[in-house]
Structure 1
Amino acid sequence: MRQGIRRGVRPLSPCALGLLCVLGALPAPAASLTAELSASQDSRALTLLGDVELREEETFLTFGYSGLRPEPDTAASHQLSLGVDHALSEHWLISGSLLVGLPKSTLTPLAIERPRLGLPSLAARTAYSSQGLSLSAGYDSGGLSDVEYGLDASLGLTRYPLRRSILTRQGTNAPTVAFQHTERLGVLRPTLGARLMLGTHWELGLRGGLYLYSDDPLSAGQFTEQEQQALAERYTQEGEDRALQRAFLERLYRDLGTSVAGRLAEVNVVAGLPSAPVRFDVRPAVTYRFSSKVRAQLSYGFTQYVPGQGHGHVLGTRWTFRLGEPLRLWAAAAVQSDVPEAADPVYTGLLTLGAEYTF
């Protein structure tokens, strides 16, 4: 019973890749390994998860790795974490995880070199890392009646040092740092979830989360007005250069949406791929179990981005197949629609493949 509770309410949490390889090879009373690959036209995401039983059906060590490349020419984000799940009883489960985002740096062109005007090229270097803590608690009615339910709540707190710098380069000379700016952004993310099991076939689910930022995530770590004014006075801005800068901002906001908003560990067809930092999201889902080996889920997600960035919708389906007792496979597909406030909707197709093996 406790094993069932643990798997029913524990959200996917990223953990350390090194521990995944080492601990996965060690004998243990019970353990599981999970791999999930998600992709859209431009993005790629990989999640590796695992757990090892420390005390029989009561305490489990969780570990894994999550990686995401939101754009083809953007550096990948990597996140590690290590946590513990503990069943207080047949109904209650508590969990805690430490999360670390590895340092990431991306160089993006802003303006081309203009030798005749004596103007060097411009590029923006963005860099950040993260340190976070996630706590959660869940309750499962755990009975045998026709109507059962589960509830869970979690709270995540993450700190992000955000660094921005402008690099100039002329000819074959080494790049020179023109401006640089560093700020620290904190994100507090409370979430609530509920499940309602109707008989042996139907399950209804609802999950929502709120994102509270210590500063405006669209301006934290950006260049000051004085620095921007100095750039405007020194460099002419033509159409091509402005297009480069718009592309830079779009890439930066998408990067912030998936990483700074704490969604790196959840990039799949259910959560979608945010195109900007999130204010709140709501995700209802309905699951039908055809048998003990096959089940299907239909889900919808609504995401409200921070002011000025619009909102998004995700409609997806996920099919899960159990091949014997130790092996579980799933495939999911979705269509995401991002609706900016001052532009046409952008549609994205998402695909997720995953497998879990239990020892």
Structure 2
Amino acid sequence: MKLSRKNGLRASAIGALVVSGALVLSACGSDDNSGNTDGGKKTAAASNIKCDGAKGQLLAAGSTAQKNAMDLWVKNFQAACDGVEVNYQAIGSGGGITKFNQGQVSFAGSDSALKDEEVAESQKICKGGKGVNLPMVGGPIAIGYKLNGVDNLVLDASTIAKIFDGKITKWNDAAIAKLNPTAKLPATTIQAFHRSDESGTTQNLGKYLSSAAAADWKYDPKSKAWPAPGGQAANGSSGVATGVKDTEGAIGYFELSYATASKISTVDIATGAAAPVKATTENASKAIAAAKVKGTGNDVALSLDYTTKAEGAYPIVLVTYEIACDKGNKAETLPTLKAFLNYTVSDEGQKVLSEAGYAPLPAEIAAKVRAIVPTLS
């Protein structure tokens, strides 16, 4: 997350991210809390988690982009803290923010920062305070596809915009062929999949297309709802990934972990750099290094640069926030909320992210969030 000097956060911090290959935890739903099936890793992780009075049930909802990370965090936290249940519903960022602003959940996960009107709405629930954006994890939005005989595919912002807007309908279209001169592109009809639910993933893709292909994508970049006509809708990132995996000629967008889990081919993006850029957590980190902090006080909202042409920088990225009240949290759930968020942003919580295909926060951003969480009241 490239951050302004004004905020004392340097891109070099991001560059120091230790990001490994995108691996998806395959057993994060296991009920075995003994730690015997993972070589003791979970026991070690649990021993470092501070429960600090956590008790009972903590309800949360939102982003499907962070579901794989959240599953892992919840598993480890519950293993460490007896009698605690964290229930996270992956219903999309829009749904999570709605539930948060209706007082139905203690925090929401969102792939985009709260809008001004959403902050205003949160003040009704956060008595004496407001909802704040706490970045917790970053990563790439992959453009996945299924096209027999085409193992490598390059697209740029313009072609992606025209595909999802229904302006390019065949895989052997001249614009795609120009970017892939050696590929044997079939005349197969393109089946474009998009999210049916409101989503920060959709919003981040829209911001990328609006920034990098302004002439071809005329829709509101702030919209969490899919704006273009046509295409096939599916619920959540998992639904879009399943649609792409099961449909010849399909293309869709979802977090890299879903592509990895389903063995879906992903598009390399031509950004204007010397070579097209692959969707990897490391390449996404290079693009996130172009971000700036736009939030003030306890709000750590970030502004991403979707038009970066830096070598090896993958431009379609998102940062997932946990949204919570800075003041006015419910007394009965506040200790559990703070303990859980303290864990997710801790060194221990951040280290496990690469196992699930995400990029951990840079050290200075993590430190800023760590200083804020204990002040929630």
Common fold: TM-score over 0.5: no
Larger relative contact order (Cα-Cα within 8 Å, sequence gap ≥ 6): 2
Higher Cα radius of gyration: 1
TM-score range, shorter chain: under 0.3
- TM-score, normalised to structure 2's length? 0.23
Q: Which has the higher helix share?
A: 2
- Could you tell me the TM-score, scaled by structure 1's length? 0.24
Structure with greater proportional strand content: 1
